Amino acid sequence: MLHMIKNAVAAFLALFAFAALPSAAHARLQCVTYARQISDVQISGNARDWWSNAEGSYDRGQQPKAGAVLAFAGTRAMPYGHVAVVRKVVDARHILIDHANWSGPGMVEKGVMAIDVSAAGDWSEVRVWYAPTRSVGLRASPAKGFIYPRTLTADASSAKPAKG
């Protein structure tokens, strides 16, 4: 009987240990992984490095285009930076973006507002919709600019929207 109890306890502990291991189904989706999944920009590294990693492989600029990736700089609040895919250009200062891991860990948000609040109108400072406050964020986040997939041309009217 004691042998059966020991085996049952061992089986339970083994099952508990297996269930406690992280799996792909339980992993939190990061912004970089999500941006690669839904865009034609395929860059590796932390989000803060995408701007420099894009040099020589992708065109970069300060004008939003559907399908482009908006690359945020790293800060104390977001040391790894952030990337988001432009879903739609509303006007020169407003875009809708798709991104992950902004309003909550692993949370995917589609078609949320991002606003250029830079003095120069160059998208170097951006406020982004933040679900917990139901408003654009209270702080401006520094951005490097937009990384254009090879499928985009200089003509914004031919811009391909983000997948997904």
Residue 13 gets the label, from left (phi > 0), alpha (psi -120 to 50) or beta, of: alpha
- Which residue intervals of 21-162 are DSSP H helices? 31-38, 50-54
| CATH of residue 62 | 3.90.1720.10
- Is 17 within the bounds of a domain? no
Is residue 163 over pLDDT 70?
Answer: no
User: Half-sphere exposure (CA, 13 Å, Cβ side) for 114?
Assistant: 35
- Is 135 within the bounds of a domain? yes
- Coil, strand, or helix at residue 95? strand
Residue of higher predicted confidence among 151 and 160: 151
- Other beta carbons within 10 angstroms of residue 63's beta carbon come to 14
Please tell me the total count of domains within the chain: 1
Is residue 156 over pLDDT 50?
Answer: no
Give CA 91 to chain center in angstroms: 21
- Is 98 within the bounds of a domain? yes
- Section 76-86 average pLDDT: 97
Contact 46, 80 (CB under 8 A): yes
- Section 123-150 average pLDDT: 96
Residue 28: what pLDDT? 85
pLDDT range class, residue 123, cuts 50, 70, 90: very high
- Is 113 within the bounds of a domain? yes
pLDDT tens for 26-80 read 468 999 999 999 999 999 999 999 999 999 999 999 999 999 999 999 999 999 9
- Is 116 within the bounds of a domain? yes
Contact 116, 125 (CB under 8 A): yes
Residue 137: what pLDDT? 87
Is residue 23 over pLDDT 60?
Answer: no
- Is 50 within the bounds of a domain? yes
- Is 15 within the bounds of a domain? no
Query: Between vectors from CA 58 to CA 89 and to CA 103, what angle results, nearest 5°?
Result: 50
Residue 153: what pLDDT? 54
- Is 6 within the bounds of a domain? no
What CA dihedral angle connects 111, 116, 122 and 124, to 10 degrees? Answer: -90
The boundaries of the domain holding residue 55 are 31-158
